[in-house]
Chains A and B, each alone.
Chain A
Amino acid sequence: MKCGIQLAVNGEERRVNVPPMKRLLDVLREDLHLTGTKEGCGEGECGACAVLMNGELVNSCLVPALQANGARLCTIEGVSTEGRLHPIQQCFLENGGAQCGICTPGMILATHHLLDKHPTPTLEQIQEGLAGNLCRCTGYMRIFEAVQKAAEAQHAI
């Protein structure tokens, strides 16, 4: 059984016909060909598949398609504008926040969400805000620095 799902993905109205329990992660990757969202564990532990759904950070591997019906979604593909890096992306790039890159899309969306809530986050708020996104490469220190620099950059705008 399939059903029609309406999504606003990165500001664009999209309609897909998928089984209602299909994971949002697979809808994004397979039906919408947005492969920037990654699968790391499939059980909501690693955050590689994190996207913003109606402004909230969710693990798209745990969201059935039907639940996302009518939702506003932001994936990594929607963070930059016309090929220009968002300040968060720029700061990850400059400060060594991305190593192997597989956690990076989810990490950048988690940062986006964190800075929406806490425009000037403390180190503790950063640590807590990113605790659902695992990174095996960096030991997180470069990421913390990237987030702090991104917060400063956003204030400068």
Chain B
Amino acid sequence: MPEHDQIVGTSPLRKEGRAKVLGQAKYVDDLSLPGMWHGATVRSTIARGLIRTIHFAPEVDWSEFAIVRASDIPGENTIVHLTKDHPCLATQEVNHPEEPILLLAHREKAALLAGVASVRIDYDELPGVFTIEQSEQAVANNDAERIIWEGSDYGGTANCFKQYALYSGESGETEDSLAAAFETADYIVEGEYHTGAQEQLYIEPNGVIAECEKDAQGNVISVCVQGSMQCPYYLVHALTLVFNLPEGKCRVIQTETGGAFGGKEDFPSVIGSHAALLAMKCGHPVKMIYDRAEDMAATTKRHPSRTRHRTAVSKDGKLLGCEIEIALDGGAYATLSPVVLSRATIHAPGPYKWPFVRVRAKAVATNLPPHGAFRGFGAPQSLFALERHMDKVARVVGLAPEELRRRNFLATGDRTATGQLLDEPVDMERLLERALDESNYDAKLARFAEENRSSAIKRGMGIAAFMHGSGFTGSGERRLNSVVQVELLPDGRPQILVSSTEFGQGTNTILCQVAAQSLQIPYEQVVIAQPDTHMVPNSGPTVASRTAMIVGKLVERASTHLLDTLRAGSGLALSHTPEQFTKAALAYLDKHGSLRCSARYEPVRPVEWNDELFHGDAYPTYAWAVYVAEVAVDLNTYSASVTRFDALQEVGRIMHPVLAKGQIEGGVAQGIGYALYEKCVWKDGRMMNNQMTNYIMPTSADLPEIHVHFEEVPCVHGPSGAKGIGELPMDGPAPAILNAIENATGISFDTIPLLPEDIFVKVSGFTNPEHGGSGELDPDRLGEFLPEVNA
């Protein structure tokens, strides 16, 4: 075996990898229970209105169906997130297209399609709001008809789920000091940036199988749901309310999960509750699997955003202050929007030192299906705006984009916009230097500028500098109060018990590495249990780049506890072989029957966070990165493509080089899709392109070589020095790509996704007076209008 201290940092085979390459891994649709029925959802066909009547077509034998209405719900009609505004099933009103109204189950899956089509619902339609601007206008105009959301016990005002204001400053935190910064500025630079919705597009759609147990009187005594999900205990919590049952009577089991990316964070609470209600009604296990079109139309997406920047800067490129205004489109119910907004707010000032910052942020209500969690969770939106804006500031000041950033980076000992002291090493300058070096930035910039003069294919380079907070925000980890256990199996192998889930990112593997290293035994000897809430403690949700760092640290502590117990109780020596470990484990079990060691979350260092003022230690730590995109824009076809991508980051110690690279490459690919391909087309709140045929994610033929580079700086918060890695790579690609497109064409684009038709409109707008263009630019001469890049 390798030395124990070499297990973290090597790349052992993925724990469940063999089953996956053999096709033996069981996803929820591969499972079948005896007597199982199938479930389906009858959904709203309109965006907003009152349900008048529900007709069941007489030619269908409805006695063969189980039908669930809101009135059948034994507990509360709510899908709980932060508040209870989100109904499990609509009662009198609907607030978005595809809102669930009725549930149907049948023993034959094939009968459901006709069943759903044979229910007709008549509505009294109400006017809807479908964009951030429409939602704001309704409030501004006091248009009561278009106030679609009124507030909740969690806060919020008309059409606004949540608002935050973040003020920071070295010597004061007032509007006055901010105003002074703008008065002394040599330049004031303004910009407005937009991002679209993005579909998670996990290849396995949402799906569950539910069972329900009733007593002789027909009252529900327990429910059990297994399926594809990230956060089993979130679903437990949802079920306790819907069924009015204690936690111990709501069992949730995660099955192998075919991708999630945030899309299976909160949504399983919906489909899981629905399937359990159908199981209650029909008395059989019920399987509900969405098909692709339903999954895309009805489940969550990344929040669309609008971000405005106003920046004060001196003529030597020192950032003096900024005002940032963020608006997210939350869809029809609050769901996770307040938390997404919080991460957007904290990440908005980026990795820069600002004497004064003011961020005002809000999440507004629209009549779209609720937007939710997607890798990055608000940060990709605000970092897109910031990093596009930094290029604009650089242009105004007359500095190269990299030079402006270099002059303003946060460094060790500085405080972030929330006032958090960066007492661990932070070296953005080093990251920038190396990223420019690895991508051959200077040489390419010069070469492209030269070549672009005589080519209709314009090439360019762009950078983005950014960070991503690891773990829950502020006091969130303290509130989660996560617990991890490590136990001995009867054969003496240690087994990890966590509710943290594997959905491709490598949870099983890295947690086993951590345990193996702590227990000083081979990786192969460690086992991890399937997340089943009747078997595993609540180690928190699998979100927020927290699993490696937070849960990994708990696995390390629980494992060390177990090792110490064996040393004290079975005479295991300080240095031992795998065989000696097993022998000591069996001796301990023989004498005591069992051994299970727990670890509960304790912050490595005290966390000071004020939720009201948005001030203090926003995250235990941040991962830092500089990404470089190389693009080609073909002015014959108006298509832009990424021709090379360099991703350099500092994510603490690398636990598993192969998995870590895979995380970065996969995130960059999603980021490229976010920037150039993936467009949700909406009509009156309904997604019109809810198919893989017309919602385009990158294929193997669309992606460039993605070069991944790590700077390894061990971090005190994670096991063996690890930080969070999962979300970071989603944040940087889009701004780097649009910066590169501006470098290539001289034209500034501030909205993503950026499709060929968008490039066409803007280029022809510039060049063709008949289309309202100024006639200033000729596509063939665009190269001559390239901005000065090496000022």
**B318: CB under 8 A from chain A?**
no
Question: What 1/0 mask marks residues of chain B from 13 to 56 whose CB sits below 8 Å from any chain A CB?
Answer: 11011111111111101100000000000000000000000000
Mind listing 24 A-B residue pairs with CB under 8 Å? A37-B23, A38-B27, A38-B258, A40-B205, A41-B692, A76-B22, A77-B23, A80-B22, A93-B14, A94-B13, A96-B659, A102-B203, A102-B258, A126-B700, A128-B700, A134-B699, A135-B700, A136-B666, A138-B666, A140-B665, A140-B669, A140-B703, A142-B661, A142-B665
Q: How far is the CB of A97 from chain B (nearest CB, A)?
A: 8
* Docked complex: B178-207 residues within 8 A CB-CB of A: 200-205
**B288: CB under 8 A from chain A?**
no
**A115: CB under 8 A from chain B?**
no
Check B703–A100 contact: CB distance below 8 A: no
Contacts of A103 in B (CB 8 A): 203, 258
Interface residues, chain B, CB within 8 Å of chain A?
A: 11, 13-14, 16-27, 29-30, 200-205, 256-261, 291-292, 503-506, 658-659, 661-662, 665-670, 691-693, 697-701, 703, 705-706
Q: How far is the CB of B163 from chain A (nearest CB, A)?
A: 33
Contacts of B27 in A (CB 8 A): 38, 102
- Segment among A1-9, A43-51, A63-71 that sits at the interface with chain B: A43-51
Contacts of B13 in A (CB 8 A): 93-94
Count of chain A to chain B residue pairs whose CB atoms are closer than 8 Å in the complex: 166
Check A85–B18 contact: CB distance below 8 A: yes
Check A136–B23 contact: CB distance below 8 A: no
Q: At the interface, is chain B mostly helix, strand, loop or mixed?
A: loop
Interface residues, chain A, CB within 8 Å of chain B?
A: 29, 35-43, 45-46, 48, 75-77, 79-80, 85, 89-90, 92-96, 98-105, 108, 126-128, 130-144
Q: At the interface, is chain A mostly helix, strand, loop or mixed?
A: loop
Check A131–B701 contact: CB distance below 8 A: yes
Interface centre among A76, A98, A133, A142 (most CB of B within 10 A): A98
Known contacts: A102-B258, A142-B661. The answer to whether A134 contacts B14 by CB under 8 A is no
Q: How far is the CB of A127 from chain B (nearest CB, A)?
A: 5
Complex formed: what's the CA distance from A127 to B29 in Å? Answer: 29
Contacts of A37 in B (CB 8 A): 23
Contacts of B659 in A (CB 8 A): 96
Check B292–A42 contact: CB distance below 8 A: yes
Complex formed: what's the CA distance from A79 to B29 in Å? Answer: 22
Check B504–A139 contact: CB distance below 8 A: no
Check B23–A141 contact: CB distance below 8 A: no
Contacts of B25 in A (CB 8 A): 101
Contacts of B258 in A (CB 8 A): 38, 100-103
Choose among B205, B662, B701 the residue that contacts A128 (Cβ–Cβ < 8 A): B701
Contacts of A35 in B (CB 8 A): 23, 26, 29-30
Closest to A98 in B: B20
Closest to B202 in A: A136
Contacts of B506 in A (CB 8 A): 99
Check A137–B693 contact: CB distance below 8 A: no
Check A46–B259 contact: CB distance below 8 A: no
Complex formed: what's the CA distance from A18 to B203 in Å? Answer: 27
Check A131–B22 contact: CB distance below 8 A: no
Check B505–A45 contact: CB distance below 8 A: no
Choose among B23, B26, B503, B667 the residue that contacts A105 (Cβ–Cβ < 8 A): B23
Complex formed: what's the CA distance from A35 to B258 in Å? Answer: 14
Check A139–B669 contact: CB distance below 8 A: yes
Complex formed: what's the CA distance from A45 to B690 in Å? Answer: 13
Contacts of A141 in B (CB 8 A): 661-662, 665, 703, 705-706
Check A85–B204 contact: CB distance below 8 A: no
Known contacts: A96-B662, A131-B699. The answer to whether A101 contacts B504 by CB under 8 A is yes
Complex formed: what's the CA distance from A62 to B13 in Å? Answer: 34
Check A36–B658 contact: CB distance below 8 A: no
Closest 4 CB pairs of A and B: A36-B23, A102-B258, A100-B504, A139-B669
Complex formed: what's the CA distance from A131 to B291 in Å? Answer: 22
Check B204–A100 contact: CB distance below 8 A: yes
